[in-house]
């Protein structure tokens, strides 16, 4: 997926002279996850450059650049590091258009690796997406395949509003179904790893059905899409797996269509449960599909604890837990 | 004896003391500005704009002043502040209208026509100087106390007042508290209520101008209290790293609501000195001396335009009015402190200088004061005609959902319809 992200940045740097890419270690070195490798030598350090270690500063200058008329793409090295930048994101970028009566806008994209599965402990594994979806004026995107990552990142950069683009870091080098004991499959050997070199975009706010099914609707995003697929295969439950792709704006039409068909819903995310995005999804499904539901909606999420280091696989909501939820909703 | 192994080692020190700085005077005390070292006008050297910042570290503790007590322009910074009599009268007029505007809008708040107001009394020279000295495409990132910029740029007073009254003609549709103007056409960035956020944004805007190979620069403003915010330090770090074409202004008006400047660390060093560790040139300037204001802005702007990077300027001034209409300064500082302020009143000082060179008189000043009041009165009458918070002529509630995003997503359309159905 990191290759797809690099390709999206490459395409947009080439197409639009207003695009600039910056963040900690993204310039000469090419980023700790190699998402910007080679871009500085191709486009020069005016377009692709390193920044001081100051997330508030990185997002703050991005707001100023956006107000000037550039299209900044800022990288936060890990989503866990974004908190010092939240004031600039929440109070400034998200509300600039509104508070100025569209006099000034913030067409910036803030990329950040999120999620666990790499033994990153509590400061390199978090999934803070619900913090962003709670903020009016931000769009929140979280792809699960290299093809989507490229198309959605291009759409995010082209969007005239601020977009938080979360990259499931466990998927950078290959899909991951939640079985850490199995050998790693690189994207090169995977059908979804094939990414066209040229420009294409995928509209924000449109979910994808990853696996059609009739028994139960699974709402997932990022790494959890693969975990849900494994759980469906292992349990034999005919789950319809919806990859939300964009959390805000949310594609409620696809969700409603599926839940009305299956009558059951399991929500899966890595983030902590309480006030997680699953709570919003559960409320939405209840509001829009109540009379179609045949069993209570279930959530499978990270525990309400900090993300541990040594006990990663006890924390990570793997196919065992997701499979148990699938079986459970079928029994209700 | 090994003190480290002694459970109760003898100590030669007394107990530690927690230290909280206190201002020099509180209500009931005589005002005391002895902490402020005011050098004679013309005493501070003027370096070349291309100077190595390390060669002018002393200027962070000095004070650039051009106008002496008699209103003469003196010293090495005077030639850099050369202005025609007409240009000075224009600046004076902008300051006087700003003061009249502030007084009128403050009264309007007291009459319930608006919820809130903030005056800039005593520090008008800084915003007016920026407005008249920077170019039409430069961008100003103000705080809530730089309305003088808009008035100096002749932005319509009626438009400003419609924002204050949150009426149907408010271009911000009643979304922002009063005084949080936005006027891109006038080079005036949308004001945030979160302090200091604009400082790093000004640096980002300036970086963008350099990235684009443009010729315009940015000027950011914070108060001395806000230098404690992280964004201030981000701004200095990024401005220094990329040598951004930006003027970083700290308006030290001595008071952040009720906290004197010592609570932001002002008792330990000047705010200008914050630049030294970053290798950014620091100027400390008499902010009530219009000619010194002009000289400082010209120096910093010229330096930025020649690709020599940022300048930090501490403007020494005094917040003569309350912090806002919700504040009562008599609770925390001497009532007449403003009258004892050693740097005087920027309006009077510029008027005195103009009089000194035979271009102004008390009669003309009186005429200008009356004219400013009349202009403001007429504008207020017109703006009030479009509505105030009192009569409820505010923007349509449907507009609440616009501009959250460029295009309204489905969930906001649904919520708008839900509000619509409520009576």
Is A101 in Cβ contact with B175 (below 8 Å)?
Answer: yes
Domain with CATH 3.40.50.970 in chain A: 2-171
pLDDT in tens, B210-221: 999 999 999 999
Cβ contacts from A onto B, under 8 A:
141
Answer whether A63 touches B (CB < 8 Å).
Answer: yes
- Domains of chain B listed by start with CATH number: 37-392 (3.40.50.970), 396-423 (no CATH)
pLDDT at residue number B12 = 83
Answer for the pair A285, A259: CB distance below 8 angstroms, yes or no.
Answer: yes
Q: In this structure, which CATH number among 3.40.640.10, 3.90.1200.10, 3.40.190.10, 3.40.50.920 belongs to the domain A205-331?
A: 3.40.50.920
pLDDT at residue number B6 = 65
Is A139 in Cβ contact with B190 (below 8 Å)?
Answer: no
Considering only the beta carbons, identify the residue of B175, B183, B197 that sits closest to A60: B197
Residue of chain A whose alpha carbon sits nearest to that of B183? A103
User: At residue B199, does pLDDT exceed 60?
Assistant: yes
Is A103 in Cβ contact with B200 (below 8 Å)?
Answer: no
pLDDT at residue number A189 = 86
Tokens describing residue B290: 């219009």
Answer for the pair A284, A250: CB distance below 8 angstroms, yes or no.
Answer: yes
Which fold does the domain A2-171 belong to in CATH? Rossmann fold (3.40.50)
Is A104 in Cβ contact with B211 (below 8 Å)?
Answer: no
Is B192 in Cβ contact with A64 (below 8 Å)?
Answer: no
Answer whether A98 touches B (CB < 8 Å).
Answer: yes
Q: Which residues of A touch B404 (CB under 8 A)?
A: 97-98, 136-137
pLDDT at residue number B2 = 52
Answer for the pair A108, A66: CB distance below 8 angstroms, yes or no.
Answer: yes
Q: How far is B400 from chain A (nearest CA, A)?
A: 9
DSSP H or E stretch at residue B420: helix B410-421
Q: Which residues of A touch B235 (CB under 8 A)?
A: 57, 60
Residue of chain B whose alpha carbon sits nearest to that of A138? B405
Query: Average pLDDT for residues A106-111, to the nearest whole number?
Result: 98
Measure CA A44 to chain center.
29
* CA distances in angstroms from A227 to A124, A180, B61, listed in the order given: 20, 11, 63
Regarding predicted confidence, which is higher, A134 or B268? A134
Q: Provide the Cα torsion A322, A327, A329, A332; round to 10°.
A: -160
The H-assigned helical ranges of B22-81 are none
Residue of chain A whose alpha carbon sits nearest to that of B409? A249
Measure CA B272 to chain center.
15
pLDDT at residue number A192 = 82
Q: Is A12 helix (H, G, I), strand (E, B) or coil?
A: helix
> Which stretches of chain B sit within 8 Å of chain A by CB?
139, 141, 171-173, 175-176, 180, 182-184, 189-190, 192, 194, 197, 200-209, 211-212, 218, 230-231, 234-235, 237-238, 241, 403-406, 409-411
The burial class, CB within 10 Å (0-12 / 13-18 / 19+), for B214 is middle
C-alpha B239/C-alpha B205 separation (Å) is 11
User: At residue A251, does pLDDT exceed 80?
Assistant: yes
Query: Average pLDDT for residues A87-115, to the nearest whole number?
Result: 98
Regarding predicted confidence, which is higher, B56 or A194? B56
Is A62 in Cβ contact with B212 (below 8 Å)?
Answer: no
Q: Characterize A304-324 residue by residue with b for buried, 16 or more Cβ atoms within 10 angstroms of its Cβ, and e for exposed.
A: eeebbeeebbebbbbbbbbbe
Query: Average pLDDT for residues B45-71, to the nearest whole number?
Result: 98
pLDDT in tens, B187-196: 999 999 999 9
pLDDT at residue number B11 = 73
Answer for the pair A1, A171: CB distance below 8 angstroms, yes or no.
Answer: yes
Measure CA B260 to chain center.
16
pLDDT in tens, A72-98: 999 999 999 999 999 999 999 999 999
pLDDT at residue number A191 = 84
pLDDT at residue number B217 = 98
Q: Which residues of A touch B174 (CB under 8 A)?
A: none
Q: Which residues of B touch A87 (CB under 8 A)?
A: 194, 197, 231
Answer whether A181 touches B (CB < 8 Å).
Answer: no
pLDDT at residue number B4 = 55
pLDDT in tens, A254-281: 999 999 999 999 999 999 999 999 999 9
Considering only the beta carbons, identify the residue of B184, B234, B410 that sits closest to A249: B410
pLDDT in tens, A296-325: 999 999 999 999 999 999 999 999 999 999
C-alpha B255/C-alpha B215 separation (Å) is 36
**For residue B1, what pLDDT band results from cuts at 50, 70 and 90?**
very low
Query: Average pLDDT for residues B140-158, to the nearest whole number?
Result: 98
Answer whether A45 touches B (CB < 8 Å).
Answer: no
Answer whether A61 touches B (CB < 8 Å).
Answer: yes
pLDDT at residue number A214 = 98
Answer whether A105 touches B (CB < 8 Å).
Answer: yes
ipTM: 0.97
Question: How far does chain B reach from its first CA to its final CA, in angstroms?
Answer: 84
User: At residue A294, does pLDDT exceed 60?
Assistant: yes
C-alpha B225/C-alpha B325 separation (Å) is 19
User: At residue B137, does pLDDT exceed 90?
Assistant: yes
pLDDT in tens, B242-284: 999 999 999 999 999 999 999 999 999 999 999 999 999 999 9
Is B231 in Cβ contact with A60 (below 8 Å)?
Answer: yes
Question: pTM (2 decimals)?
Answer: 0.97
Q: What is the mean pLDDT of chain A?
A: 97
Q: Is A70 helix (H, G, I), strand (E, B) or coil?
A: coil
Q: Which residues of B touch A63 (CB under 8 A)?
A: 201, 204
User: At residue B357, does pLDDT exceed 70?
Assistant: yes
Percent of chain A scored above 90 by pLDDT? 97
Answer whether A203 touches B (CB < 8 Å).
Answer: no
C-alpha B87/C-alpha A252 separation (Å) is 61
pLDDT at residue number B7 = 66
Q: Which residues of A touch B203 (CB under 8 A)?
A: 60-61, 64
Q: Which residues of B touch A99 (CB under 8 A)?
A: 172, 175-176, 180, 182, 190, 192
Domain with CATH 3.40.50.920 in chain A: 205-331
**Segments of B139-281 assigned E as strands:** 139-141, 218-223, 246-252, 255-256, 259-260
Answer whether A86 touches B (CB < 8 Å).
Answer: no
Q: How far is B48 from chain A (nearest CA, A)?
A: 28
Q: What is the mean pLDDT of chain B?
A: 96
Q: Which residues of A touch B176 (CB under 8 A)?
A: 99
User: At residue A159, does pLDDT exceed 50?
Assistant: yes
Is A65 in Cβ contact with B204 (below 8 Å)?
Answer: yes
Q: Which residues of B touch A88 (CB under 8 A)?
A: 197, 200-201, 231
Residue of chain B whose alpha carbon sits nearest to that of A253? B410
Q: How far is B408 from chain A (nearest CA, A)?
A: 10
**For residue B395, what pLDDT band results from cuts at 50, 70 and 90?**
confident
Q: How many CB atoms lie within 10 A of CB B195?
A: 18
Q: Which of A119, A124, A190, A309 is catalytic?
A: A124
Answer for the pair B318, B253: CB distance below 8 angstroms, yes or no.
Answer: yes
Catalytic residue status for A309? no
Q: Is A268 helix (H, G, I), strand (E, B) or coil?
A: strand
**For residue B79, what pLDDT band results from cuts at 50, 70 and 90?**
very high
Residue of chain A whose alpha carbon sits nearest to that of B177? A99
Q: Is A142 helix (H, G, I), strand (E, B) or coil?
A: coil
Query: Average pLDDT for residues B131-151, to the nearest whole number?
Result: 98
pLDDT in tens, B343-356: 999 999 999 999 99
């Amino acid at each position: 997926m990191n290759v797809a992200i690099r390709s999206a940045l490459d395409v947009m740097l080439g197409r639009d002279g207003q695009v600039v890419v910056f963040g900690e270690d993204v310039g000469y070195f090419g980023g700790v996850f190699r998402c910007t490798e080679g871009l500085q030598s191709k486009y020069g350090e005016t377009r692709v450059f390193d920044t001081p270690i100051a997330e508030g500063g990185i997002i703050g200058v991005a707001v100023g650049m956006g107000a000037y008329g550039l299209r900044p793409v800022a990288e936060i090295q890990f989503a866990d590091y974004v908190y010092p930048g939240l004031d600039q994101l929440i109070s400034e970028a998200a509300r600039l258009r509104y508070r100025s009566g569209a006099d000034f806008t913030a067409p910036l994209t803030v990329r950040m690796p999120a999620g666990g599965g790499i033994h990153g402990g509590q400061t390199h594994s978090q999934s803070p997406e619900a913090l962003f979806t709670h903020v009016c004026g931000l769009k929140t995107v979280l792809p699960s395949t290299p093809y989507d990552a490229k198309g959605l990142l291009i759409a995010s950069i082209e969007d005239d509003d601020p977009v938080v683009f979360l990259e499931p870091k466990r998927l950078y080098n290959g899909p991951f179904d939640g079985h850490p004991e199995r050998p790693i499959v690189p994207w090169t050997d995977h059908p979804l790893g094939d990414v066209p070199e040229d420009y294409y975009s995928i509209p924000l706010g449109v979910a994808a059905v990853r696996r059609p099914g009739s028994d139960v609707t699974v709402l997932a995003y990022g790494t959890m899409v693969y975990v849900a697929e494994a759980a469906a295969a292992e349990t034999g439950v005919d789950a319809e797996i919806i990859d939300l792709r964009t959390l805000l704006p949310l594609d409620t039409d696809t969700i409603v269509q599926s839940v009305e068909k299956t009558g059951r819903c399991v929500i899966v995310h890595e983030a902590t449960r309480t006030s997680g995005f699953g709570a919003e999804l559960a409320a939405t499904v209840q509001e829009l599909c109540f009379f179609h539901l045949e069993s209570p909606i279930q959530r499978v999420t990270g525990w309400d604890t900090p993300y541990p280091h040594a006990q990663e696989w006890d924390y990570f909501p793997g196919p065992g837990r997701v499979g148990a939820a699938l079986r459970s909703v079928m029994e209700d | 004896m090994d003190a480290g192994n002694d459970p109760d080692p003898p100590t030669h020190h007394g107990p530690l003391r927690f230290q909280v700085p206190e201002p020099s005077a509180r209500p009931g005390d005589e005002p005391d500005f002895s902490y402020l070292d005011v050098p004679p006008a013309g005493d501070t050297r003027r370096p070349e704009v291309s100077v190595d910042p390390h060669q002018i570290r002393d200027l962070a503790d000095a004070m650039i002043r051009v106008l002496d007590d008699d209103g003469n322009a003196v010293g090495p910074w005077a030639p850099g502040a050369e202005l025609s009599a007409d240009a000075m009268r224009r600046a004076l007029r902008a300051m006087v209208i700003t003061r009249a505007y502030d007084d009128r809008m403050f009264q309007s708040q007291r009459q319930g026509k608006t919820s809130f107001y903030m005056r800039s009394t005593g520090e008008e020279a800084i915003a007016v100087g920026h407005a008249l000295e920077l170019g039409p495409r430069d961008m100003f990132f103000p705080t809530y106390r730089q309305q003088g910029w808009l008035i100096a740029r002749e932005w319509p007073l009626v438009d400003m007042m419609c924002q204050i009254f949150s009426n149907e003609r408010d271009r911000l549709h009643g979304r922002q508290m009063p005084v949080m103007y936005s006027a891109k056409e006038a080079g005036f960035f949308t004001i945030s209520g979160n302090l200091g956020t604009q400082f790093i944004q000004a640096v980002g805007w300036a970086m963008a101008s350099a990235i684009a190979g443009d010729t315009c620069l940015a000027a950011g403003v914070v108060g001395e209290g806000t230098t404690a915010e992280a964004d201030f330090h981000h701004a200095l770090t990024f401005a220094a790293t990329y040598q951004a074409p930006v003027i970083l202004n700290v308006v030290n008006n001595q008071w952040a609501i009720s906290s004197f400047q010592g609570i932001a660390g002002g008792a330990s060093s000047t705010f200008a000195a914050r630049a030294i560790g970053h290798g950014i040139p620091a100027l400390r300037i008499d902010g009530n001396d219009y000619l010194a204001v002009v000289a400082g802005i010209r120096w910093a702007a010229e330096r930025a335009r020649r690709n020599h990077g940022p300048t930090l300027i501490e403007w020494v001034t005094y917040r003569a009015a309350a912090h806002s209409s919700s504040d009562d300064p008599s609770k925390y500082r001497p009532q007449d402190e403003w009258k004892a302020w050693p740097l005087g009143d920027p309006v009077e000082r510029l008027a005195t200088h103009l009089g000194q060179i035979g271009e102004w008189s008390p009669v003309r000043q009186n005429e200008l004061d009356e004219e400013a009041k009349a202009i403001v009165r007429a504008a207020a009458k017109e703006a009030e005609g479009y509505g105030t918070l009192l009569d409820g002529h505010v923007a349509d509630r449907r507009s609440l959902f616009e501009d959250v995003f460029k295009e309204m997503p489905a969930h906001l359309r649904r919520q708008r319809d839900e509000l619509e159905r409520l009576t």
